[in-house]
Amino acid sequence: MRRTLAITLACASLLASGRPAAAQPPVINFAQPAAIVPGVATDVTFFGGNLAGVTGFWNELGASAELTPGVENNGAAADRVTYRLLVPADAAVGIGGYRVATGQGIANVRLLMIDDLPTALDNSANKSLEAAQPITLPTAIDGACEAESFDFYKFTGVAGQRLSVEVVARRLGSPLDPVIRLLDANGRELAYSDDEPALGADSRFALQLPADGDYVLEIRDIRYQGGGNHRYRIRLGDFPLVTVPYPPTAQLGTVPQLAIGHAANDLTGAARLLVELPVPADPALRQLRVGVRYPHGTGTAATRLAVSPREESIEFEPNDTPETASPARLGGGWSGRFEKAKDRDFFQFEAPAGARFRFVGQTRSLGSPTDLFLRLYKADGGLLAEADDAETDEGTLDHTFAEAGVYRLMAEDLHRRGGPEHVYRIQVEPYQPGFTLALESDKFDAPQGGVFVAKVTAGRRDYNGPITLSVEGTPEPLRVAGEVIPEGKNETVLNVTLPAGLAAGSWHPLKIVGRAKIGEQEFAATASTAGALRGQFNGLPYPPDSLDGAVGLGVGPVFAEFFKLNVDGGSIAFPQLVATATFTVKAERLNGFVDPIALAVEGLPAGFTAEIKPIEKDKTDAAIVLKGPAAAAAAVHRLRVVGNGTHQNQPKQVVVGDVALRVIPPLEITLAPAGALPAGGTQKVKVTARFFNDEKPAVTLAWSELPSGVTGPESITIPAGQTEVEIELAAAGNAALGAGMRASATATTTVAGREVTATATTPLEVKMP
């Protein structure tokens, strides 16, 4: 019997959000419940790590969000946070992404559902038929499968009652590969489902209950794997098992007439329903969520309609033979449906000589179970090309038409299957040289004012020139280095520096766009994150299209200091005539930093240069050699020593400022009495010569000043190769007494072939013995 269905829809918008290097960004493992009820404020707890100090919640379901009041430690606990989410009452059932932000960054994107069925939770004690958990229909059960285990749920039904059962697991990013069975009170199997062709790894079935009594639903992982992350949501009610609308894609700003396809194991003729659905003209729109339910049913089924700016056309039956081919024009989208087994569709079109076009198939990405097989024929039936799907490629033909004329494209299911769910679309586009871009991550975190790095990979199509990248979406511009993929290369690493005005705890949606002028045309492509999303969602082959290319950026606290610098001795002595000096820069390493530190010297006087080596990995100092004029005038100059290091991708510059560079004579002499000189006695004096090169020539000294009554050696010599000598001063018994006296000596030596003198003075005390 034909049933009337109600249709609701909502837009899947393009938003996004991203991890500080030393900070600990939040991580989300799962949500409980896994769905929001339309029009009902739903408290959802998100479990994970590093969730303390939440600063925001982003989602693409159109839900408002506030921290749920009355929950102990809510917003401050590290392992969970509870938000009260609300979507409009007319929000369509479906799946979309969400993220949580904290002061440390932004969480990985996860998937959440809008569902009008009430939620029950797995009690974790339902591991046998005897311990089956009682439930009341209609309901949706949130739970997790344990390894080598089963979960059982028991309910009471009546004869003839319609029951639809659907597992939403992989579609929510769970690693679970579910299999479900329905058993009667005697343990007899009534229904079974493993992988559903239109759903991938998820399962579903529908049936009419044969008798009054109790029934048991069993769920497990087909591989007997499990754990806390092997989550599932089982939906039980009376709803159609829909697949994909037909046509599966509508042009922006149009009002297409749609038929809602149903699965082969559905109990209704849902595909017969025709509805008119207005499609907004928003160019950012990629998909519409579409909810389908029976007027008197329980629960709503979810499907989605793709949208496109291109013209869309559909096949017209009969077109199973070349002679009855549906007329088509090159360009836009061609949609069709294999109504029955062994059905095939022909499209006939004209192509000019030399035109090159791509025919790109779409099936499973739209929710259809079809494996598309394409063949291109000349008007006389000669085969030109063929293609079938492989992994996420759903079948692509790329052909240059050598001659102007009539051509035909044939489409069929590779396994010759058919039915209302076997819908396809072929995107027909002129070939254009260009490129695709891909990112390895869908989110990045950086400290406030810090840096994140992003590897961007290009797939080139007959274009080998440079590709200029930009990072777009923040309220203040970002500073980007490495923004060009060079000619002939296929990748670059972006170094993106955040402006200081992006506050810690904030999050921002980004996209990375590549641009190039190819011939006379400007070409642009947004970097895809589909590969990263597939990994994050445990191999989900077609993540929500609205998330592809949507990059999240989370801003964490200012990066911790990780090294300090100082100049050994605090100043630098540069000896005249020697014309060279070496000084040491020392580093204090902090917070596990071990990498090299590049050094530079700024503010050198004219004629001076520096030979600089970095402080090597795991080392704490480096020597810098200064060279300058031998005849440099004695003076004190001020310079800066600058160190640059990078720790966990974060650059740091440390400046040691106002370092004194003293241009001095090449010889210094010091006099150091061992103590006071007793009248009538002697006292030792150490004479030290300081040289500023590796040579140590002999030095002679003569006293130029001694207190009255004090005598010393007339000539003092510090032998070559030595730097000090000890002599004695003697005081007469009647020498003047006091502490304010001084002794001075003049030293003479030869440096760089020139005679050099230096004078030294020391305080001297003469006292009573």
Average pLDDT of the residues in 730-740: 89
Residue 685 has pLDDT above 90, yes or no: yes
Of the given ranges (281-290, 341-350, 541-550), which has the lowest mean pLDDT?
281-290
Residue 256 has pLDDT above 90, yes or no: no
Residue 291 has pLDDT above 90, yes or no: no
Q: What is the pLDDT of residue 23?
A: 67
Mean pLDDT value across the chain: 91
Q: What is the pLDDT of residue 4?
A: 34
**Phi and psi (nearest 5°) for 271?**
-70, -15
Task: Copy the structure tokens of residue 381.
Answer: 């039936």
Q: Encode 593-619: b = buried (16+ Cβ within 10 Å), e = exposed.
A: bebbbebebeebbeebebebebbeeee
Task: Copy the structure tokens of residue 742.
Answer: 């001084």
Using CA atoms, how far residue 667 sits from 163, 573, 685, 699, in Å, is 101, 11, 19, 10
Q: What is the pLDDT of residue 3?
A: 36
Using CA atoms, how far residue 16 sits from 62, 214, 501, 508, in Å, is 13, 46, 20, 7
Confidence band for 6, pLDDT divided at 50, 70 and 90: very low
Q: Tokens 């001084």 identify what position?
A: 742
Residue 498 has pLDDT above 50, yes or no: yes
Q: What is the pLDDT of residue 159?
A: 97
Task: Copy the structure tokens of residue 324.
Answer: 């009855």
Q: What is the pLDDT of residue 270?
A: 43
Q: What is the rounded distance in angstroms from the CA atom of residue 26 to the CA atom of residue 110?
A: 12
Using CA atoms, how far residue 114 sits from 7, 87, 289, 545, 683, in Å, is 15, 8, 10, 17, 97
Task: Copy the structure tokens of residue 539.
Answer: 């191999």
- Tell me the pLDDT tens digit for each residue of 638-650: 999 999 999 999 9
Residue 188 neighbours by CB under 8 Å, 6+ apart: none
Residue 345 has pLDDT above 50, yes or no: yes
Q: What is the rounded distance in angstroms from the CA atom of residue 328 to the CA atom of residue 408?
A: 9
Task: Copy the structure tokens of residue 394.
Answer: 């759903």
Q: What is the pLDDT of residue 12?
A: 37
Signed CA dihedral, 471, 477, 479, 485: sign only: positive
Confidence band for 10, pLDDT divided at 50, 70 and 90: very low
- Burial class (CB within 10 angstroms; exposed 0-12, middle 13-18, buried 19+) of 53: middle
Confidence band for 321, pLDDT divided at 50, 70 and 90: very high
Q: What is the pLDDT of residue 8?
A: 38
Q: Which residue has the higher pLDDT, 639 or 769?
A: 639
Average pLDDT of the residues in 575-580: 90
- Outline where DSSP puts E strands in 265-364: 274-276, 287-293, 301-308, 312-314, 326-327, 332-337, 344-351, 356-362
Using CA atoms, how far residue 57 sits from 113, 352, 444, in Å, is 15, 53, 16
DSSP single-letter state for residue 200? B
Q: What is the rounded distance in angstroms from the CA atom of residue 664 to the CA atom of residue 424?
A: 86
Task: Copy the structure tokens of residue 361.
Answer: 């198939």
| pTM (two decimals) | 0.82
Confidence band for 391, pLDDT divided at 50, 70 and 90: low
Q: What is the pLDDT of residue 15?
A: 33
Residue 1 has pLDDT above 50, yes or no: no
Residue 526 neighbours by CB under 8 Å, 6+ apart: 437, 511, 512, 513, 514, 549
Average pLDDT of the residues in 492-496: 96
Q: What is the pLDDT of residue 420?
A: 86
Average pLDDT of the residues in 723-746: 91
Average pLDDT of the residues in 715-742: 91
Q: Which residue has the higher pLDDT, 281 or 35?
A: 35
Terminal CA-CA length for the chain: 130
Q: What is the pLDDT of residue 9?
A: 37
Whether the CB-CB separation of 208 and 163 falls below 8 Å is answered with yes
Q: What is the rounded distance in angstroms from the CA atom of residue 458 to the CA atom of residue 676?
A: 82
Of the given ranges (11-20, 58-67, 427-436, 608-617), which has the lowest mean pLDDT?
11-20
- Burial class (CB within 10 angstroms; exposed 0-12, middle 13-18, buried 19+) of 261: buried
- Tell me the pLDDT tens digit for each residue of 50-91: 999 999 999 999 999 999 999 999 999 999 999 999 999 999
* Displacement of CA 357 from its chain's centroid (Å): 35
Q: Which amino acid is at 493?
A: V
Q: What is the pLDDT of residue 295?
A: 82
Q: What is the rounded distance in angstroms from the CA atom of residue 759 to the CA atom of residue 101?
A: 69
CA angle 716, 722, 727 (to 5 degrees): 35
Q: What is the pLDDT of residue 276?
A: 73
Confidence band for 277, pLDDT divided at 50, 70 and 90: confident
Q: Which residue has the higher pLDDT, 273 or 590?
A: 590
Average pLDDT of the residues in 345-357: 97
Confidence band for 186, pLDDT divided at 50, 70 and 90: very high
Neighbours of 272 (CB within 10 A): 13
DSSP single-letter state for residue 128? S
Confidence band for 119, pLDDT divided at 50, 70 and 90: very high
